[in-house]
Structures are given as structure tokens and as C-alpha cells.
């Protein structure tokens, strides 16, 4: 009979306990979102008490007008993520494949955008957006979301580009391929899985953003979905916590669907960037 090493048992036990600990908030969220709003007594429930989830979601949808806000967030997340991924892929191609000088300097210059807290940018962004007429506009939010998404996307794409075989590039250059053709015909197709993984990261980040949504927008037809959900949470005394939690589950569904749809690309790219 084969003996299981003690180290493996401890590791698996630790991972299981961490997974259970991580799942507790999600369990509480779902259970309390299922409680009918009229029957909620003010204390959190650990076990299901009826099933009012769909009604709570409907109330959240109507009270917070989540439909237009979700459409706005979809526009911001898709557009800004695609722009950021394209720019990051081009920057990674230049920093890894092309014969540029001071590659490390360029890497840190771009990646340093992730080292500062986002709150640092709020005041200059607010003032500049007000001066240039970008405040409370969709194009203004797309621009800021794309800008903050580039550094981390560049980090992913650069690491992935370093794993690609140099022989392919050398062979294409010997055949007379220009850098532009090399980028679009070889580099982009080879980097597709990493681009999808980076897109998932940035889509989730933009979708879940609240800071810029409440700072750079005020109109209901401009604000992203998390700003609308925050407004609903501000009136939770009248709607009840189950309605707010039902709305939270509702607005999180697109990111969950996206992650599981792109899971194959997500996992494969992470394996190659280790």
C-alpha cells in the first residue's frame, strides 16, 4: 500500500481550508440574496430562508436602472480592453522582438503605471477632463480605462512574447518580412491566447471599477454599472439588503460568464508565462 507523504497531506489540507475560507463570503452573499426582501429581519442568514432571489434581482434592476448602466459598462470594458491589449501587444513586440535599446528601461517605464495608487490620478484627471469637455462623457471613461489597463496588459504580453521562439522571427526577417507584417501575420496570431487572458483581466477590472465611475461621471446615461449599484446600496434602508445583494449577483454574472468562456485560453497563457 502506497503511503501518502505528510507534506502533501498538509498542503492539500491547507488548500482546502483556504478554498473554504474564500468561499464563505460568496456563500453568505448568495444565501442572503435569496431571502425575500419583506421577510428579512436585519440579521444575516447562514442557511437559505425561502427563495426570493429572482424578485430581488428584478427590484434591483428596476430601482437602480441597471440595464443602461450595464450597457455602458459593457461598452467601456470591451472598448478600453481591446485598445489596451492592442497597444500592450505592440509595446511588447517592440520591447522583446525588435532591436531596441534599453529594453529594461522601457519595460519599467510602461509597467510603472501599476505602481501608483489610482487615487493619485483623480484630481489631475478631474481638472483636465473639466477643461477639455471630457467630464461625464463615454469617450472620457473609455480613455481613462484604456490608459490604466495598458501597464498590466503590457506585463502579460511582454512575458508571453519572451517565450515565443526567436527562430520564427529570424526566418521571417530573412524572407524579407517587414516589422509591420511580422507583427500582424506572426506575432499577433502566436500571442492570441495571452491576448485573451489579458482581455479577461482588463474586462473584469474595468467592469468592477467604482472609483473612476463615480468621479468622472454623474449622468445616469453615462455612469457604469458599479456606480449605479453603489447608488442602490446608498438607499438600502428602503429597498433592503437582499435587494442590494441580488443586484450584486446580477451585475457579476457577465464577468463570471466571460471567465468560464475564456478559461482555456486563460490557463494556457499562464502556463507559458511562468
Taking the CB of residue 241, how many other CB atoms lie within 10 A of it?
18
Contact between 80 and 267 under an 8 Å Cβ cutoff? The reply is no
**Mean pLDDT over all residues of the chain?**
82
Q: What is the pLDDT of residues 178-209, one digit of tens each?
A: 778 888 888 888 888 888 888 988 999 999 98
Query: How would residue 2 be classed by pLDDT, with cut points 50, 70 and 90?
Result: low
Cell digits for 121? 490620478
CA distance 32 to 25: 11
Per-residue pLDDT averaged across 49-54, rounded? 77
Q: Which helix (H) or strand (E) holds 263?
A: helix 263-272
Q: What CA–CA distance (Å, rounded) separates 158 from 141?
A: 26
The label of the residue with cell 448602466 reads 69
* More confident call, 181 vs 137: 137
pLDDT confidence of 81, banded at 50, 70, 90? Answer: very high
How far apart CA 131 and CA 142 sit, in angstroms, is 17
Report in angstroms the alpha-carbon separations of 206 from 9, 53, 72, 78, 255. 39, 26, 11, 9, 10
* Each residue's pLDDT tens digit, 213-228: 888 888 888 899 888 8
Domains, the chain, with CATH or none? 53-272 (1.10.3720.10)
pLDDT band at 273, cuts 50/70/90?
very low
DSSP secondary structure code for residue 37 in this structure:
G
Closest CA to 112 of 158, 144, 151: 151
Amino acid at each position: 500500500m502506497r503511503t501518502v507523504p505528510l507534506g502533501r497531506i498538509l498542503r492539500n489540507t491547507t488548500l482546502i481550508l483556504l478554498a473554504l475560507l474564500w468561499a464563505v463570503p460568496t456563500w453568505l452573499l448568495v444565501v442572503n440574496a435569496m431571502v425575500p426582501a419583506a421577510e428579512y429581519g436585519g440579521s444575516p442568514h447562514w442557511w437559505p430562508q425561502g427563495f426570493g432571489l429572482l424578485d430581488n434581482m428584478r427590484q434591483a434592476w428596476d430601482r437602480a436602472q441597471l440595464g443602461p448602466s450595464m450597457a455602458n459598462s459593457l461598452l467601456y470594458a470591451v472598448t478600453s480592453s481591446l485598445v489596451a491589449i492592442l497597444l500592450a501587444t505592440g509595446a511588447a513586440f517592440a520591447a522583446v522582438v525588435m532591436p531596441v535599446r534599453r529594453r529594461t528601461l522601457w519595460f519599467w517605464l510602461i509597467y510603472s503605471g501599476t505602481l501608483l495608487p489610482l487615487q493619485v490620478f483623480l484630481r489631475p484627471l478631474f481638472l483636465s477632463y473639466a477643461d477639455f469637455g471630457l467630464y461625464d462623457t463615454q469617450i472620457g471613461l473609455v480613455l481613462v480605462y484604456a490608459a490604466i489597463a495598458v501597464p498590466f496588459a503590457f506585463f502579460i504580453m511582454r512575458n508571453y512574447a519572451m517565450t515565443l521562439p526567436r527562430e520564427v522571427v529570424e526566418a521571417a526577417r530573412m524572407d524579407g518580412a517587414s516589422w509591420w507584417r511580422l507583427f500582424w501575420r506572426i506575432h499577433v496570431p502566436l500571442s492570441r491566447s495571452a491576448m485573451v487572458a489579458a482581455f479577461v483581466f482588463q474586462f473584469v477590472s474595468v467592469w468592477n471599477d467604482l472609483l473612476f465611475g463615480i468621479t468622472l461621471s454623474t449622468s445616469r446615461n453615462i455612469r457604469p454599472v458599479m456606480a449605479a449599484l453603489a447608488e442602490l446600496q446608498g438607499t438600502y434602508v428602503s429597498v433592503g439588503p437582499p435587494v442590494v445583494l441580488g443586484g450584486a449577483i446580477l451585475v457579476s454574472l457577465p464577468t463570471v460568464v466571460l471567465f468560464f468562456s475564456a478559461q482555456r485560453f486563460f490557463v494556457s497563457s499562464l502556463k507559458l508565462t511562468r
